[in-house]
Amino acid sequence: MRLIIYIFSVSIFCSCERDKEKVVEGDLYFKLFDMERYFDAPDSMLASIENGVSRINRDTLNRQDRKIYDAFKFMVDNDLFRRPYVRLRLDNEDIRILLLDSSDYRQFTKYRWPDLSRNKEKVRVKVTVTEFEYPLFWMKKTETAYNGLKVLSIDKVEGETH
């Protein structure tokens, strides 16, 4: 019996591996129309979405509506509607969402695409992150995003802002 308890305990401990932290670098990326941007919406709208998601019975939805529901449920469960973020264009040209806390996000609010583009500048970002996958309701896949743990540097340099 003690052997069974030991094996069970070890398997639980091993399955709870911590997310691996890593350092990523990329350029601040701007998107003209952002379908995923909810954090700066009025609280009343966010509360309405969160309440609506909690009241829906997933079993009554068709397949397409379930994808939309699953994406919104994931965002509600992980408090992603209220988390500010920026987009990073990595050196391999992949675009990733970088979730930030409010104080880190404020460091990015002074940068505007028209100003950077006109001055032929870009913003280079280095940050410690963990990765996570989130569902995209308009596509049949998930997307990788970063949870920003610590901003290491934000530098305005010469170059093209995308």
Domain ranges (residues) in the chain: 22-40+83-158
Residues 41 and 80 sit within 8 Å (Cβ to Cβ): no
Residue 64 phi, psi (nearest 5): -65, -45
Mean per-residue pLDDT of the chain: 80
Higher pLDDT, 78 or 87: 87
Give the pairing of strands 142-158 and 95-99. parallel
Q: What is the pLDDT of residues 128-152, one digit of tens each?
A: 999 988 776 555 567 788 989 999 9
The top-scoring range by mean pLDDT among 4-13, 70-79, 111-120 is 111-120
Residue whose tokens read 């998601």 = 53
The alpha carbons of the chain give a radius of gyration, in whole angstroms, of 19
Structurally, at CATH architecture level, domain 22-40+83-158 sits in Beta Barrel (2.40)
Confidence (pLDDT) at 92: 93
Highest mean pLDDT among 32-46, 72-86, 109-123: 109-123
Q: Give 17's pLDDT tier (boundaries 50, 70, 90).
A: very low
How many CA atoms does the CB half-sphere of 108 hold within 13 Å?
Answer: 26
Among 74-78, 120-124, 127-131, 156-160, the minimum mean pLDDT is found in 74-78
Q: What is the pLDDT of residue 9?
A: 31
Query: Which among 44-58, 104-118, 124-138 has the top mean pLDDT?
Result: 104-118
Place of tokens 């100003």: 115
